[in-house]
Amino acid sequence: MHRPYLVGAGLSFAFVAIASTSAMATPCTNLQSRSFEHTTITSATDITGGSFTPPGSTPITGLPAFCRVTATLTPTSDSQIQIEAWLPESNWNGRFLGTGGGGFQGVITYGELAQGIVAGFATTNSDLGTGSSGCNPLFCGSDGNKGNVLAIDFGDPANPSTGLFGHPERIKDFGYRAIHLMTVRGKEIADAYYAQRAKKSYFAGCSTGGQNALMEAQRFPHDYDGILAGAAAFNRTHLHMAGLGSWQNTHANASRFIQPGQMTLINKAVIAACVGQDGGAKTDQFLTDPRDCHFDPAVLQCTGGNVPPACLTADQVTTMRSYYAGTIDPVTKQVINPGSERGNETDNILALGLEFTENLPEPAFDGLFYWVYGAAFGIPTSPVNFTNFDFNRDVDTVDDQLAKVLNATSTDLSEFREHGGKLVMYHGWADPLIPSQSSINYFNALVQNGRAFAQPARFDSNDPALKDTQKYARLFMVPGMYHCSGGPGPNVFDALTPLVEWVEQGVAPDTIPATKFVNDTPSLGVAMTRPLCVYPKVAKYSGSGSTNIAANFTCVADEPDFNQTPAKQFGP
């Protein structure tokens, strides 16, 4: 899934009814007659009443007057990419903003568009072309929901689907082409509307939007001046294998399931054992750097008369050890994808973690494998299916077909850097969907690229290659944040404004202020503030004053920590 670039912030606007579109031609409605390559403008409408209601959803209110343009892009005969451009009519800040989405996308992410124009950007978003195959963020190929209530609630279609199977051009659209063409056409539409070019262009996205962000920096380095990449799903084929492995792990036998409430039990034990080991404060309900925590779930194994859910069975201990260990080739023992960090355990279904995937009839996000194997992947008697996918034998089959198109794993950002591009990455340390160390692995690989000779990808804050990399790319790890938002830590922050200041004023961000609201509800007040530190520094409590006030923390150098890294052929 995904969240806006103003991480964790929900839109809170006053309701105003939509005004009727004027019958007279306007600069906006005139766009409908404009011609762009491989593009059909399907509508161009002035929205002046302060509110917009997305299809099948509730109104987004408090919006400035804007020109809404919808278009279909057809770069190939099998492509059907939907985009929207929202263009502020009076509060345009002179900048262009491309935005991403989540999962398999398949829809326009209206919250991203709304936040963009409220901040004054000419903003665009895309369904990545997967909507033409009936995809939604969680499902793009499945054997149907099988009557599972959770699957139905999260939009799994009732009937089987093969997603993008047999559509290699749509796979390319999803992987990299749609987001690039959205950018090119979005800029052209904005240029035509304003009769001038934007002074600077930015991209912001989390999850799949983070993958889009890195793909833009790698393949189309001149599209954007500044790129914000959150919890990037950049190593996509192996990330989806991790989801498949997680489902197989909990379904290995009936006693391997983690019962409701037990993830919270485990999380409390993890925090009790490890909180305050590296920065942070002893009173935190989250870990500042979980890599210093080596909690073994075996300490919760049932003894005497204790029984689950108050403790773990031996099989449940095995489940959790595998959860932390990562996706491993059973023959070579090589790491295919890093494991989950300690401290991300949650019973919250919306966090899309283990509690979510183990209760589905087949793995979440396994649609990717339908693109390779077709309908057979959903049939348990097939040679390769979601129950028996072999992490030694079958990995290459998927990678051979999809990796070059979907995986944004190149660490050569030289062209992006040379034209003055700036990259800000962020990732929640308590992310239960995409392992948080994945973003560290990518950043470490950027640093490694800057070395004159090979060295281990572990460094301190004074490393010359690190300092050189930080001239164009910076990473911020977010203690206690789930996937793109939420979680027990300070999970609301504006990462886009520091990026703009870096690009336009040359001021590189060293810290980003973050906030935790009471019950994650701004109207209830602030629970705590905390600085997010430029990696590899961590926020350390000064020892005096409230631990809920950012001013009582400083960013300090952290010792080099071990970061689980995939084998070279699966990395970085």
Cα(129)–Cα(157) distance, integer angstroms: 18
Which residue among 79, 207, 322, 436 is the active-site one?
207
* Cα→Cα distances 441→238, 334, 563, 571, Å: 14, 16, 7, 8
Cα(180)–Cα(203) distance, integer angstroms: 11
Q: Which amino acid is at 184?
A: V
Which residue among 127, 173, 278, 431 is the active-site one?
431
Cα(82)–Cα(128) distance, integer angstroms: 7
Q: Which amino acid is at 542?
A: S
Secondary structure (3-state) at 360: coil
Q: Which amino acid is at 263?
A: M
| End-to-end Cα distance, the chain | 22
Contact yes or no for 143/160 (Cβ under 8 A): yes
Cα(34)–Cα(188) distance, integer angstroms: 10
Look up 180 and say whether it is catalytic.
Answer: no
Cα(54)–Cα(383) distance, integer angstroms: 43
Q: What is the 3-state secondary structure (H, E, C) of 22-39?
A: CCCCCCCHHHHHCCECCE
Taking Cα atoms as reference points, which of 63, 84, 435 lies closest to residue 240?
A: 435
Look up 207 and say whether it is catalytic.
Answer: yes
* Cα→Cα distances 113→9, 204, 322, 544, Å: 14, 11, 39, 42
Cα(86)–Cα(92) distance, integer angstroms: 11
Q: For residue 274, what are its two tokens?
A: 């490890």
* Cα→Cα distances 328→18, 335, 566, Å: 53, 5, 9
Contact yes or no for 155/139 (Cβ under 8 A): yes
Cα(407)–Cα(423) distance, integer angstroms: 18
Q: For residue 478, what are its two tokens?
A: 């977010």
Report the run of H or E that residue 375 belongs to, with start and end: none
- φ, ψ of residue 58 to 5 degrees: the values are -95, 160
* Beta strands per DSSP E along 420-535: 422-428, 473-478, 493-494, 511-517, 526-533
Cα(76)–Cα(70) distance, integer angstroms: 19
Q: What is the 3-state secondary structure (H, E, C) of 510-540?
A: CEEEEEEEHHHCHHHCEEEEEEEEECCCEEE
- β-bridge pairing 200-206 and 226-230: parallel
Q: For residue 330, what are its two tokens?
A: 């059973």
* Cα→Cα distances 57→40, 60, 107, 252, 330, Å: 25, 9, 12, 39, 45
Look up 431 and say whether it is catalytic.
Answer: yes
Contact yes or no for 387/438 (Cβ under 8 A): no
Which residue among 399, 483, 485, 558 is the active-site one?
483
Tell me which residues are annotated as active site: 207, 431, 483
